[in-house]
Amino acid sequence: EVWKEIKFEFETIDTL
């Protein structure tokens, strides 16, 4: 799912 990949990147940026 593309949304899962986008969510994963978003969470990574949020953690950073």
- 16 pLDDT more than 70: no
At 15, is the pLDDT very low, low, confident or very high (cuts 50, 70, 90)?
A: low
Q: What is the mean pLDDT of residues 1-16?
A: 76
How does 2-13 read in b/e, with b if 16+ C-beta sit within 10 Å? Answer: eeeeeeeeeeee
| The one-letter amino acid at 12 | T
Question: What is the model's pTM?
Answer: 0.10
d(CA 2, CA 16): 21
3-state secondary structure of 1: coil
d(CA 1, CA 14): 20
Q: What is the mean pLDDT of residues 6-14?
A: 78
- 13 pLDDT more than 70: yes
